[in-house]
Amino acid sequence: MFQQLKDNYAKWVIGIGGFLLLLELFVFNPGLIFSLLVSVGMIYFAKKSLKGLMGKILFWLGLLILIVSILNMITVKFLLFSVLVYFFIQLIHNKKNTTVIEPVIKDKIMNSEEEASYIKKKPLFTNALLNRNSTPNHVYEWDDINIQCGVNDTKIDLSYTVLPEGETVITIRNIIGNVKLFIPYDMEVNINHSLLFGSYRILGETEENAFNKNISIKTSEYHQANTRVKILTSFVLGSLEVKRV
């Protein structure tokens, strides 16, 4: 029953949201169409035709106008409020339907080979809303990185550590942030970077004012290497720099 309620809620939200969007664009605030078209045009023109300081100013001004226009929309405010209501309903439902699982203890003596064992380690970096991460400027023990942050700058230097054989994975997800990765010359890498707005410099491949891009770059001997690094990054707004040291 709750699943059906969720499905109906989503349909109602989408239906009302679409109706509000049409009213807002064509009845209550038709000037919004002009603002959206102008901001998108400024971003596109800055990317394709302008370089240097004027291009950057036009790009960021267009982006600012676009963000402000979207956030001021009644439809967006309605959708954000609907999401909050959904999570509130979900929270109440989970509290009412909490399942208590009691372990069944068997009268059995396990030998040392049957006993489960694990090693708990402190990760190099942890998730944080506001943070600045950096590997130490001396030799350190490596561990795979998997973080997601709000506003975060990260610097990783792989020349001060020894990577294990096989594939090492670095995963970084930021809302806003800058990431710098320093890779030794003899190390094979596979980089997959996704961003909405920003710039990147990846092993000689460079683009400023990139918009809604997904970049995949892999060294030629990656799959044959005994030690290799896979880098997965995604930003809403930020820059990525990957270079050899």
Nearest to 200 by CA among 234, 166, 224: 234
The pLDDT value recorded for residue 208 is 85
CA distance linking residue 10 with residue 3, whole number of Å: 11
Per-10-residue mean pLDDT, the chain, length 245: 60 82 84 86 80 82 88 86 78 59 51 59 78 85 86 88 90 88 92 90 88 90 91 90 91
Please report the pLDDT score of residue 215 as a whole number.
92
- β-strands 227-244, 130-134 pairing: unpaired
Other beta carbons within 10 angstroms of residue 28's beta carbon come to 11
